[in-house]
Structures are given as C-alpha cells and as structure tokens.
Structure 1
Amino acid sequence: MLSVLRKFLFEEDDQSSDGAAQDNKDVEKRLQVASCALFIELAKADGKFTDEERKFIINHMKKCFNIDEEYAKELMELAEKRVKESVSIYEFTGEINEHFTQEQKEKLIENLWRLIFADEKMHAYEDHLMKKVSLTLNIEHKKLIEKKLIVKAELGLN
C-alpha cells in the first residue's frame, strides 16, 4: 500500500514538473512572439516593411533567443499574423511587462532603436511609436533618449 502511494505521489510530482516545464515553454513562446511583433510594428511604422528590416528582425530573433533560422522565420510568420489580428501594441507590451525585467525591457528598447536606424534615418511615425512603446513598458523618457543616443553613436549617426 505504501509503495502504491509513493508511486502515485512521484508520478504526480513528475507530471506537475512536466506541466511547469510546458508552462515555461508557453511563456517563452509568447514572449518571443510579443517581442517579434513589436519589431514588426516598428518596422511598419513608416509605411513600408523592407526585406532589410525583415532580415534584421530575423537575425535579431536568432541572436536574442538563441534559435535557428527556420524557427526564426516561423516566429516571424506567427508574429506577423498576431500583428494583423491585434488591436494595439498593448497586447504585446503587456506580455513583456509581465515577464521581462526592467533591464531586459531597456535592452529591447535599445534594439528597437537599432532597427529604426538600420536605414540611417528616423521617420516621425517611428519616433512616435517608440515613445508609445516606452511608455507602455514603463521606460522613463530619459532612458529612452539615452538608448537612442547610444545606438546613434554606435552607428556613427551623430
């Protein structure tokens, strides 16, 4: 009887740890999609979504999430679908706010600036959307500008 109880308890414990692992994978996937979606929203802010911007996002997703090319392209497709279905950026920033640290959110902002300045210029709509994204991620304006200046200096755009 005791062995049956132990077996039951250990199996249940294994299942709950499997469930927790699956929950972690689900959260990670949602964060990947949300992050990618923000990049897509920003890339489209100036009215066009170029192949260079698409490549930039795919490469960034590969580097950021340590994923392969095929998975990054699948992630991009899924994120594009979510962007089309979304009502606002809050759907994506809410997910990020829930799970990212302040430091991770600031790094995301910095990388969004890299996307904007990849073509060496900034459209007014891109700037406006960055302000909106930073507000919804609870990033101070001072930090937003700091990250912008870091990226501009890094790219020699002073």
Structure 2
Amino acid sequence: MLKTLQALFFPDQPATETTRETRLDAAVAILLMEVARADFDVAEDELDVIRHTLIDDFAMAPDTAEALVRHAAAEVDDSTGLFPFVRVLNEQLSPDQKGQVIETLWRVAYADAGKHHLEESIIRQIADLLYVPHSQFIRARVRAEESAG
C-alpha cells in the first residue's frame, strides 16, 4: 500500500537532505525509529522491521533503506518533537493509511519480544496526532500482536 503512496507523491525523487524531511518514507522511518528508541534499547529485530517496511512498502533498495534508517536514528536524536513528521503523514495519507502506519508502529514495538509501556505511550501519542480513532488503534495493536506470535 505504501509503495503506491510513495510513487504518487514522490515519483523519481532523489533522497536529498533538503527534501528528506518532507518525504513520506522519511517521516515514516523517523516515527518507526521513535518507537524503537522509546524503551532506550534498540533491538536488531526492531531495526529489521523498519528496514523491511522501507524495502517492502516504499520499494527501496536495501542500501537505501539502511541509509534512511541511519538518517532516522540521527533525526530522532536531534528532533524536538513528533509534529513535523506527523504533519507529513496528516497531509498525505487517508485515514485508513494512517491506521496502517499505526499497525507498523505496533509491529516495531512487538518485534523485540513484547511491547514496553514507553513504546505504547509513543504510539498512542502518534495515533492521537494522526487523528486515528481509538478503536482503529486497538485493532492495529491486536493485528500486530497476533502477527508477532
């Protein structure tokens, strides 16, 4: 689904530093990294979910995805808040697509053998900023939990 979005909003757009923060893929990567870092321990399994999301949903080459993961980690370190990244998603995604992003955030949280309460807190904040209804937030969590096993 997100492959289609990326093609619609950023056809053939190079990953330059000046455009990266307004790109959908970068905003998603940064929010995913926020969840991975919420519990102060970024597990390789969490990074794998982020990489695979970028590769699968945005049709990125593995080396490009890895570079964006590194950029997202640096951006989270320097970030003063979630709003600039959430704004990109609010401007470009439908309500259903926002729900899919929330489910992906949950997949990151469950990637390292279960969610931490700080991960849940950041996902809840992002869902509120994206205007995702609580029922959709819960359904996304349940789907991610079930797929995590």
Instruction: Decide: shared fold, TM above 0.5.
Output: yes
1:51 to 40, 44, 47: 44
TM-score (norm. length: structure 1): 0.78
Q: Which letter does structure 1 place at the counterpart of 2:42?
A: F
Q: Which amino acid aligns with 2:23?
A: R
More helix by share: 1
Check 1:63–1:45 CA distance in 2 against 1; reply closer, same or farther (3 A cut). Answer: same
**Who is 2:62 aligned against?**
69
The gaps in structure 2 that reach 5 residues or longer are 1-8, 14-18
> Of 123, 144, 151, which residue of structure 1 is paired with 2:144?
151
C-alpha distance in structure 2 between counterparts of 1:105 and 1:111, whole Å: 10
Q: TM-score scaled to structure 2, two decimals? A: 0.82
Structure 2 equivalent of residue 109 of structure 1: 102
Listed one character per residue, the Cα deviations across residues 61-83 of structure 1 (whole Å, up to 9, x for unaligned) are: 10010111011011112222222
Q: Which has the higher contact order (CA 8 A, sep 6+)?
A: 2
Residues 107, 144 of structure 2: 8 Å contact kept: yes
Q: Equivalent of 1:122, from 105, 108, 115?
A: 115
Q: Give the paired residue count.
A: 136
The equivalent position to 1:91 in structure 2, one of 84, 92, 97, is: 84
Displacement over 4 Å in runs of 4+: 21-24, 26-29
Q: Which residue of 2 aligns with 1:30?
A: 23
In structure 2, the residue matched to 1:11 is none
CA-based RMSD: 2.2
Alpha-carbon distance, 1:112 to partner: 1.0
Which residues in structure 2 correspond to 1:137-148 (within 5 Å)? Answer: 137-148=130-141
Distance 1:74 1:141, change over 3 A: same
- Give the direction of change, closer, same or farther, for the CA distance of 1:53–1:79 in structure 2 (3 Å limit): same
